[in-house]
Structure 1
């Protein structure tokens, strides 16, 4: 009862936490409740949410509690799921005769920031389903209920396939037969959705995971590198929660080896899911490590018990209360730290800005108008306008072009009425600012800001009747940006050789860097057949003040019809630039592009390549 009460107080404290991506599910639920069908954009049957079961829960919850908003319904559902998750963690410990361990693990789960930060979403529901399935299968010896729960976990997140496969493998190894009846139950549970989604969307598979993988292929940070950076940043904040738990985790591993093997299959699931993310090479998002938060909570509880046993055996009964007091203080301090951190970050500046932006569109744009942007969750939910998702989560076709590094395709293909530009994302979308079609067809109409957010959202509106040029397609590309080159000034130049794979080459985008300075000198782009060619195929002069920092600059030139299979060379120079008033280009190390190499001052640099894309007219 004490655990339930503690969990209830904590979850109610956190129920209004949410983040931008979850609003995709909220908008699907809103459209269902409004009679528009299971769609994100009205009239467009495209499955972009990774959590159809969560959408169903939102619809039911909103129907039963009409006085709540859909985000509040989502928050309460995920908070209840977190409470149930902690109760099943406790139940697992109790079934192993480890009641204290289970209670500590449950409390640590309730206050673990890696899990708390996913509240409002489907992730706590997923963790609850898998943990409950483990309890009923491994601790109670049941088969059919775990199969049902694992089927729901798959409907809630496709990653549920991993624990389902693990449980199936364990059943086969331990019982020497295939779990046929359990598999039938799982299939029957999912069958209504499979039939509906096949006929409604054309496929039961969500576009979400494919779009995330496309983002990684387009250059978004790797799972391991970004997760390590993210965790390092959290530890750097000297939060008491993280520092206090480090020794507990060390002792927890020791306890697991001695007495915690019963938890193995749960840890196997956590390891396998992490490995799956690495194999798929998905980019890092904080909800992709919530399951690791569960492992940390259990190991910390094991470490606490190990410390208690060490005190009992080595120091004596007079000091038994010491470690208990320390652990209780850690729990309360950690809970307070998490609460302070949550209050500080929610609602955070980006949430406030995106919400205000969505409401701006309600007041200042026509119903049915379209908006193109990257962070579409809250803006899409509150604007009630057609959304063109540049990353392709909810926009058909876009993720295929993102995979090739082409972020301009969605603009030119869908021709939005409004474009939102955020300087924070200049490396992906800054290229449009110097595009002729953008300058000719769009006018800036609003700057929206939020206290604490470093950049404004700039809204551009398309001129009435404007028609954009047909989109180009990416041919050759090297999109890694690992190191800015030296300044280009005086007699210095930097270039790249490459091979065109397609005919009709008509543009080259180069990733530029202005050192966060207002440069004002002329820069010259040259395209030649080879570094030794005496004349340029194409030459273009532009001012360095036009360069958007960390962004691409697309140079258009007359179509080269017979470009397929031929090698070319481009370079940049700026004789009138001076040190401190010059730009540079982004480069990649270890020669990732094999059909060419970087050049500096007429010398090839075999271990480097510039960051660039070659475009052609299809």
Structure 2
């Protein structure tokens, strides 16, 4: 109804999530197929909005496309078990089960089957949601990126929407079938069909809401930070209190560290540190740090992909542990390494 504003909003969505570009294209294609004409106003406003957004993003970050995509693709080559193909969605299954409850996979089956009804009977917004979710479900495994739970969110929403459509349409189809039947001892009167179909739809929707609602209410009432994030916050606050504002920090996870330390960061995984990408391409994670040794280095538990580096003589010669944080069970331990003297050349 308002293609100009639709284009502006679509272009702005790409500022927030670059993968929203798929939604912009899908919406334009849907309009072209259904209306048999292309809305040039939609295309123009979307392109203009995206262009000026791209200029601002390039000015601020130095690139139009986020380097996080390239870094994640390279990280997938370091740990390919959850990247690409079936491995991507196998990594999503435990999270879906955790939040979906006892009927999680039955609901997923309903949701996938329900995409047919969404595409057949839904409005344009519903169909856009369905196609966008399915497109991302196929794209991320093909792109070879490792699984992150926010990648699956659009697909999860599309599946839940499909489950609702399936419940309503399945109940309606059952009611119609009973209404057209001759009746019998187990069916009852044929005029009972609509009521039986409605009851089936209500039961399916109720089971879906209960299964998802009960589990997520449980997590909502008991929500707390993961223990490692608590330790990262404690370490970051200690660094802020015991260093100069120019002291830099290297870590494999930087979110909480950057927020609470207010110190310059070097992201060893390359999400926000472009210089790390050539080293990741060579599968040389240690080289990221040795190329630019920082004053502080954080080690969580055994050090993950840097476990061998934390046992190296080079690190022992140039760095020392100055503070250790742990939970009461000692299952989570975070160590802060600090440079002794300017690090020896690699």
TM-score tier (shorter)? 0.7 to 0.9
Provide the residue aligned with 2:260 in structure 1: 382
- Partner SS state of residue 162, structure 2: helix
1:204 corresponds in structure 2 to 64
Q: Which string of whole-angstrom CA distances, capped at 9 and with x for unpartnered residues, describes residues 75-108 of structure 1?
A: xxxxxxxxxxxxxxxxxxxxxxxxxxxxxxxxxx
CA distance 1:394–1:265, change in 2 (3 Å): closer
Distance 1:256 1:424, change over 3 A: farther
- CA 1:207 to 1:429, structure 2 compared with 1: closer, same or farther past 3 Å? same
Other-structure match for 2:182: none
Residue 343 of structure 2 corresponds to 467
Displacement after TM superposition at 1:459 (Å): 1.3
- CA shift for structure 1 position 297: 1.2
* Partner of residue 287, structure 2: 409
Alignment match, 1:303: 166
Q: Taking structure 1 as reference, are residues 306 and 425 closer, same or farther at Cα in structure 2, changes over 3 Å only?
A: farther
Structure 2 vs 1, CA of residues 228 and 345 (structure 1 numbering), >3 Å: closer, same or farther? farther
TM-score by length of 2: 0.82
Q: Distance in 1 between matches of 2:63 and 2:113?
A: 47
Which 5+ residue runs of structure 2 have no aligned equivalent? 179-186
1:235-254 map, 5 Å = 235=97, 239-240=101-102, 242=104, 245-246=107-108, 248-249=110-111, 252=114
Aligned residues of 2:293 and 2:343 also touching (Cα < 8 A): yes
- Separation in 2, partners of 1:455, 1:289: 28
| 1:275 paired residue number | 138
8 Å CA contact 2:7, 2:41 repeated in 1: no
| Distance in 2 (alpha carbons) for counterparts of 1:445 and 1:312 | 71
Match of 1:222 among 83, 92, 99: 83
Identify the residue that residue 391 of structure 1 maps to in structure 2: 269
Matching residue within 75, 93, 97 for 1:231:
93
TM-fit CA distance, 1:276: 2.4
Whether the aligned pair in 2 keeps the contact of 1:218 and 1:404 (CA below 8 Å) is no
Q: Note if 1:441 corresponds to 2:318.
A: yes
The equivalent of 2:4 in structure 1 is: 144
CA drift at 1:336 = 2.8
CA contact (8 A) 2:71 2:269 kept: yes
- The equivalent of 1:482 in structure 2 is none
Alignment of 1:98-113 (within 5 A): none
Cα–Cα, structure 1 residues 348 and 200, in superposed 2: closer, same or farther, change >3 Å?
A: closer
Does the CA contact (< 8 Å) of 1:408 and 1:429 recur in 2? yes
* Offset, 1:175: 5.1
Can you list the C-alpha shifts for 1:558-577, whole angstroms capped at 9, x where unaligned?
A: xxxxxxxxxxxxxxxxxxxx
- What is the CA–CA distance in structure 2 between the aligned matches of 1:206 and 1:355, rounded to whole Å? 26
| 1:454–1:318 distance in 2 versus 1, CA, 3 Å | same
Q: Contact (CA 8 Å) 2:114, 2:162: kept in 1 or not?
A: yes
1:353 matched to 2:231? The reply is yes
CA contact (8 A) 1:218 1:403 kept: no
What is the total number of aligned residue pairs between the two structures? 328
* Cα-to-partner distance string for 1:292-321 (whole Å, 9 max, x where unaligned): 111111111012203432553435266567
How far is the alpha carbon of 1:176 from its aligned partner?
5.5
> C-alpha deviations, 1:105-146, integer Å up to 9, x for none?
xxxxxxxxxxxxxxxxxxxxxxxxxxxxxxxxxxxx442222
Distance 1:232 1:166 in 2: 30
Distance 1:329 1:368, change over 3 A: same
Task: Please give the alpha-carbon distance, in whole angstroms, between the structure 1 residues aligned to 2:104 and 2:289.
Answer: 43
Instruction: With the length of structure 1 as denominator, give the TM-score of the two structures.
Output: 0.48
1:181 counterpart residue number: 41
Please state whether the residue corresponding to 1:469 is helix, strand or coil. Answer: coil
From 343, 346, 360, the equivalent of 2:221 is 343
Paired with 1:227 and 1:246, the residues of 2 have a C-alpha distance of: 12
CA RMSD of aligned residues (A): 3.0
Return the structure number with greater strand share: 1
Tell me if the contact between 1:444 and 1:458 (Cα under 8 Å) persists in the aligned partners: yes
Equivalent pair of 2:115/2:130 in contact (CA under 8 Å): no
| 1:10-49 CA distance string (max 9 Å, x none) | xxxxxxxxxxxxxxxxxxxxxxxxxxxxxxxxxxxxxxxx
**In structure 1, what is the equivalent of residue 18 of structure 2?**
158
**Larger gyration radius, structure 1 or structure 2:** 1
Contact between 1:442 and 1:461, CA under 8 Å: does it hold in 2? yes
Does the residue aligned with 2:64 lie in a helix, a strand or coil? coil
Could you say if the C-alpha distance between residues 424 and 287 of structure 1 is closer, same or farther in structure 2, counting changes exceeding 3 Å?
farther
1:182 CA drift (Å): 2.2
Matching of residues 359-374 of structure 1 within 5 Å: 359-374=237-252
Deviation digits for residues 342-365 of structure 1 (CA, Å, limit 9, x no counterpart): 334432223322222222222233
Q: Distance in 2 between matches of 1:325 and 1:279?
A: 37
CA–CA distance in 2 between the matches of 1:251 and 1:158? Answer: 28
1:442-457 to 2 correspondence within 5 Å?
442-450=319-327, 454-457=331-334
Partners of 1:437 and 1:236 in 2: CA distance: 43
Structure 1 residue runs without a partner (length 5+): 1-140, 471-618
Matches of 2:13 and 2:216, distance apart in 1: 27
Equivalent of 1:266 in 118, 125, 129: 129
The structure-2 alpha-carbon separation of the partners of 1:179 and 1:383, relative to structure 1 and needing over 3 Å to count, comes to same
